[in-house]
Amino acid sequence: MSTPHIEAAVGAIADTVLLPGDPLRARFLAHELLEAPVQVNARRNMLGYSGHWRGQPVTVMGGGMGIPSTAIYVTELARTYGVRRIIRVGTCGGVGDVEIGDVLLAQSGSTDSRFNRMQFGGHDLSTCADFALLRAAVDAAVEQGVPARVASVFSTDCFYDGDPQLLAHLRRHRIHGIEMETAGLYGLAMREGSAALAVLAVSDHLESGASMPPEQREQGLLALGRLALAAALPAQG
C-alpha cells in the first residue's frame, strides 16, 4: 500500500522521520548522514530516503513549504506508515538578538494560519514541542557543542506581503523565529498522537536584512541534521 503522495511500501519508512521543507536538503542530509540510504519516495519529487543512523532506522523526507503541504505528509506518515516521531529540520527568519546560522529549538508555535482552528472547533490550540524531544535536543546540542536556543517561533502563511505589523508583534512577544510549518506540525502531532520538534537555522534576519545563500540552506545544514538525529535517536542502553 502507498498513499497519493508517498510511494513507499508500508514498512519502508522508519518510525522516526526527519522532515526538512526542501526535498533537496532531505537528499543531501540522507546521503551525508545515513548509513546505506535508499530512496523511498520521489512522488512529486518530494524525495525521501530510509537508512540507519548509529544502527537505528530513520527516514529523511521533504515536506514542502507551508502548513497545507506539511499536513499532507505528516498525516500520511502517521496514519499509513505509523510514524511516531517527526523532527522538522528547517530554516527560519530571525527576529531580535539572533544571527544567521543560529540554531533555534522551537518550544512553541504561534501562527496566522487557520489550519489548527479548523481542526480544533475554531478554538486556539496551544501548540508545543514534544518535551522529551526538546529535552533530548537541548542535551544533544550541549554534547555536540552547538549553541542552540530554546525559542518560540511563528508560522506564517505569507512568505511575502503578510501583516505589516507582524514584526512588531513578534518583537513584543519575544518570538525569535518566523517560518511556515512548525505550528501546523505541532498541532498535527498532537492530533495524531506523535511526537514532534522543529530544529531551525536562522537563514534571514528580518531587521538587519542579512541572509544565508540558497546553496547553504540546501547543503549547509549538516550540524542541524546531526542535532536532529541525536535528539530523535538517543544512544540505546
Ligand X SMILES: O=P(O)(O)O[C@H]1O[C@H](CO)[C@@H](O)[C@H]1O
Ligand Y SMILES: O=c1cc[nH]c(=O)[nH]1
Tell me which residues touch ligand Y (CB under 6 A). 91-93, 159, 178-180, 203-204
Q: Rounded CA gap, 44 and 56, in Å?
A: 28
144-172 in b/e form (b: 16+ CB < 10 A) is eebebbbbbbbbbeeeeeeeeebbeebee
In this structure, what C-alpha cell is assigned to residue 215?
546553496
Nearer to ligand Y, 138 or 166 (CB): 166
What is the secondary structure of 124-171 as a DSSP string?
PP-EE--HHHHHHHHHHHHHHT--EEEEEEEE-S-SSS--TTHHHHHH
Q: Which of 76, 102, 130, 179 binds ligand X (CB under 6 A)?
A: 179
For 146, residues 6+ apart whose C-beta sits below 8 A from its C-beta are 103, 140, 223, 227
Q: Which does 59 bind (CB under 5 to 8 A by kind): ligand Y, ligand X, none?
A: none
Q: Which does 21 bind (CB under 5 to 8 A by kind): ligand Y, ligand X, none?
A: ligand X
Q: Are 85 and 132 in contact (CB under 8 A)?
A: no
| 225 contacts ligand X (rule: CB under 6 A) | no
Does 176 appear as a known binding residue? no
Q: Which does 93 bind (CB under 5 to 8 A by kind): ligand Y, ligand X, none?
A: ligand Y
Cα atoms in the 13 Å half-sphere on the side-chain side of 48: 27
Q: Are 116 and 42 in contact (CB under 8 A)?
A: no
**Is 204 labeled as catalytic in the residue annotation?**
yes
| 166 contacts ligand X (rule: CB under 6 A) | no
Phi, psi (rounded to 5 degrees) for 38: -120, 130
Q: Rounded CA gap, 22 and 11, in Å?
A: 23
Q: Which stretch binds ligand X (CB under 6 A): 9-17, 100-108, 178-186, 189-197?
A: 178-186
Give me the catalytic one of 15, 112, 157, 204. Answer: 204
Does 155 appear as a known binding residue? no
Q: Which does 181 bind (CB under 5 to 8 A by kind): ligand X, ligand Y, none?
A: ligand X
Q: Which stretch binds ligand X (CB under 6 A): 47-55, 141-149, 174-182, 223-231?
A: 174-182
Provide the annotated binding site for a purine D-ribonucleoside.
5, 179-181, 203-204
Provide the annotated binding site for phosphate.
21, 25, 44, 88-91
Q: Interface with ligand X by CB under 6 A: which residues?
A: 20-22, 65, 90-91, 159, 179-181, 217
**Catalytic residues, which ones?**
204
